[in-house]
Amino acid sequence: MKSKNNLKHFLSKFSLLTDEESEQFVDSFSEIHVKKRQYIVQPGFVATSRHYVVQGAFRAFVVGNSGTEHTITFAIEDWWITDYNSYIYQQPATMFVVALEESIILQIDFHKEQQLKKSNPKFETIFRIMAERGLAFQQRLLISNLTQTAEERYDLFMSKYPKIAQRVPQYALASFLGMTTEFLSKIRNKKVRKKS
């Protein structure tokens, strides 16, 4: 399986597993092809899997009271995505996770993940590090939301994740940055004018 090499390469960055262990790890995952606009997590249903993106792009979002969508995170190649609140507590999800493009993912079932961790402490370590980094990442996001203006957040995102910005629709980016599509459009336009 060619796509499993991506996940192996991800694992190799930890410099922790032998080739056989790495092999065992990826064997617990199954490859899924996801159509554009297809949902892999939906509110009301338990998120039964953790997903690793081999190819494509995803978007996680919640729908507020007024029906407004709020993007929580994106995931492109070599990133992970799921509704963590749902996955780790195995309770109904509150988020949607949808494919923005034709995608290929490798996913692991919750129970299989538990087995994996039990079978070898090194696997436990992998998941521990992933969670810690995720936590640190979320905290940086939170700080950015609290301390910066809409335009500053936009600038930061463009400089840090230009590849994502190119691939996701404007409304998704806007709702991730905590603003409306209209306002994002105005920010962009202002910048274009300034350059000339």
Partner DNA sequence: CGCGACGTTGATTTGCCTCAACGATTGTGG
Partner DNA sequence: CCACAATCGTTGAGGCAAATCAACGTCGCG
Chain residues in the site for DNA (CB under 7 A):
66, 68, 149-151, 169-171, 178-186, 188-189
Q: Which does 136 bind (CB under 5 to 8 A by kind): its own copies, DNA, none?
A: its own copies
10 Å CB burial of residue 25 (0-12, 13-18, 19+) is buried
Binding of residue 90 to its own copies (CB under 8 A) = no
- Rounded least distance, CB 5 to its own copies, Å: 26
Single-letter residue type at 128:
R
Can you say whether the dihedral through the CA atoms of 139, 141, 145, 149 is positive or negative?
positive
If the CB atoms of residues 94 and 181 are measured against DNA, the closer one turns out to be 181
Element (H, E) at 119: helix 110-119
Using CB under 8 A, pick the residue from 5, 12, 30, 139 that binds its own copies.
139
- Rounded least distance, CB 1 to its own copies, Å: 27
Give the DSSP letter of residue 46. Answer: B
Binding mask 172-191 for its own copies (x = CB under 8 A): ---x--x-------------
Q: Which does 180 bind (CB under 5 to 8 A by kind): DNA, its own copies, none?
A: DNA
Record the tokens describing residue 111, joined without a space: 């129970």
Single-letter residue type at 125:
T
Q: Which does 65 bind (CB under 5 to 8 A by kind): DNA, its own copies, none?
A: its own copies
- Rounded least distance, CB 187 to its own copies, Å: 18
In angstroms, the CA 61 to CA 38 distance is 14
In angstroms, the CA 51 to CA 54 distance is 9
Binding of residue 64 to its own copies (CB under 8 A) = yes
Record the tokens describing residue 130, joined without a space: 């992933």
Can you say whether the dihedral through the CA atoms of 176, 177, 178, 183 is positive or negative?
negative
- Chain residues that interact with its own copies, rule: CB under 8 A: 62, 64-65, 68, 70, 72, 84-85, 88-89, 94, 117, 121, 124-125, 127-128, 131-136, 138-143, 145-148, 175, 178
